[in-house]
Amino acid sequence: MFVDRARIYVRSGKGGDGHVSFRREKYVPAGGPDGGDGGRGGDVIFQVDEGLNTLVDYRNSRKYKAGDGERGDKKNCRGKDGDDIILKVPQGTVIKEASSGKVITDMSGENKKVVLLKGGRGGNGNQHYATSTMQAPKYAQPGQPAQELELELELKVIADVGLVGFPNVGKSTFLARVTNAKPKIANYHFTTLNPNLGVVDLDGTGGFVIADIPGLIEGASEGVGLGYEFLRHIERTKVIIHIVDAAGTEGRDPIADIYAINRELENYNPAIARRPQVIAANKIDAIFDREHSPVEEIKREFEPKGIPVYPISAVSGEGVRDLLYHVSNQLQELGEQVSVYEQEYFPEQHTASDGEETLSVTYDKEADEYVVEGSKVEKMLGYTNLDSEKGFAFFQNFLKTSGILGQLEALGIQDGDTVRIYGLSFDYYK
């Protein structure tokens, strides 16, 4: 099954907490701190798998979590790092932040592997906080929290050349003739549902990738019919082959059809409409009046506009070779660079950076406690000996100068209420 869109939730691993412990060995009555550090949380990694061409694996399984780091242990034992999670996607997958639709990364070109979310750092054990004045620190650092995101995965087919045209004009037949692709071909009035890719091999050239992309109907740029499902797959192509039923076998006007499809391209993305285009006037084997050939009318209409017209028969192969060499020459002039979407959303900007100090003061109604958290207070606890009179006075001054007391009073704290700062609890008195 071909699936080109998926919405998933990803979460990196939380860092393991540091450990508080002290040496308790024979003949070492007052051993120093030996709490180990927590392990690093696992990363969320996206990687291109050349063997994939669909996002079907993400259709039913929608939540992906990296492993959490383990907490540290006594005897300076460091916690085990959490396992990374590697998510494999087809080349051409664009990864977006779901709510904003902004691009995080485009798995195209040289971008084969990317760490999307980093795991949290493990917290320091209490061994790191021993000083000459505080030789028995009773505090360890918590691990950094995990990061999480809702993602929109969108596969935009990577092909050098895209075939466009109304349903039933012969695109699938053309692709089957010129490449190794084997699309389903029938006289259906609905359209091909899946993009079919094939490689064109031409003598004296390096060949190119061509895609028969789902057929257009009028209103596609507004989401009618397959709409966006078609148009997203043509965004990367460098050259467009516009296939039209020149014989008008179903009573359609080929010139009107060409203008109609070009309007859809222009409405969806003007940059696509400006790409080099060549018209393949197909089904000439069904034109019986060559003196008044509609191909000549198509040439008179579009060649003055700089759009070459090649009469072909996808069934017999007549004219196809000349068309392919023209397209190959255009591609050589354009070069080999793949169209890659630029990053618009930066996950690291939506989480506190290593150097950014955070502080939060809240009221826990269920526990009937006021809770103070954040890296700013963590750091203070790490180098303050609360068992000493001097250290406790320093702690009280910190609460005042950092604005914590003011925030507690704003929340309505009263004498005798409990304040919890990580593993420590205090009674508040003004």
∠ at Cα 232 (231, 237), nearest 5°? 90
Burial class (CB in 10 A: 0-12, 13-18, 19+), 5: middle
Q: Which of 54, 48, 20 is nearest to 35 (CA)?
A: 20
What residues form DSSP beta bridges with 278? 241
> What's the CA angle centered on 259, arms 256 and 261, to 5 degrees?
110
Task: Compute the distance between CA of residue 158 and CA of residue 336 in angstroms, rounded to an integer.
Answer: 12
Q: How does DSSP classify residue 405?
A: H
Sign of CA dihedral 396, 401, 406, 408: negative
In the prediction, which pLDDT does 281 show?
92
Q: How far is 128 from 152, CA to CA, in rounded Å?
A: 42
Per-position DSSP letters for 258-317, written without gaps between them:
HHHHHHHHHHH-HHHHTS-EEEEEE-GGG---GGG-HHHHHHHHHGGGT--EEE--TTT-
Q: Please answer whether residues 19 and 73 qualify as being in contact, where contact means their C-beta atoms are separated by less than 8 angstroms.
A: yes
pLDDT of residue 229: 59
Buried b (16+ CB within 10 A) or exposed e, 269-281: eeebbebbbbbbb
Cα(308)–Cα(281) distance, rounded to whole angstroms? Answer: 10
Would you state the pLDDT for residue 189?
39
DSSP state, 153? E
Determine the pLDDT at residue 427: 84
The letter for the amino acid at 55 is: L
How far apart CA 2 and CA 31 sit, in angstroms, is: 64
- Measured between alpha carbons, how far is 136 from 35 in angstroms, rounded to an integer? 11
Low-confidence ranges of the chain (pLDDT < 70): 1-3, 27-30, 132-134, 180-195, 213-232, 290-291, 336-338, 350-357, 379, 381-391, 422-423
Which neighbouring-strand residues pair with 372?
361, 421
What pLDDT sits at residue 188? 39
Which tens digits make up the pLDDT trace of 279-320?
999 998 888 776 678 899 999 999 999 999 999 998 998 999
pLDDT of residue 24: 76
- Residues 348 and 344: their CA atoms lie apart, in Å, by 12
Residue 169: predicted pLDDT: 85
Instruction: Give the H/E segment covering residue 330.
Output: helix 320-334
* Contacts for 331-337: CB closer than 8 Å, 24+ residues apart: 331/160, 331/161, 331/208, 331/238, 331/239, 332/205, 334/238, 334/239, 334/276, 337/109
Cβ atoms 244, 335 nearer than 8 A: no
Q: Give the pLDDT of residue 218.
A: 53
Angle in degrees, CA 374, 20, 65, rounded to 5: 60
Q: In what order do the strands lie in the sheet with 239-245?
A: 196-200, 208-212, 161-164, 239-245, 277-282, 309-311
156 is written with which tokens?
């935009």
Angle formed at CA 119 by CA 116 and CA 125, multiple of 5 degrees? 165
pLDDT for 16: 92
Q: Find all residues with CB under 8 Å of 123, minimum gap 6, and list them.
A: 15, 16, 17, 18, 37, 38, 72, 140, 141, 142, 143, 144
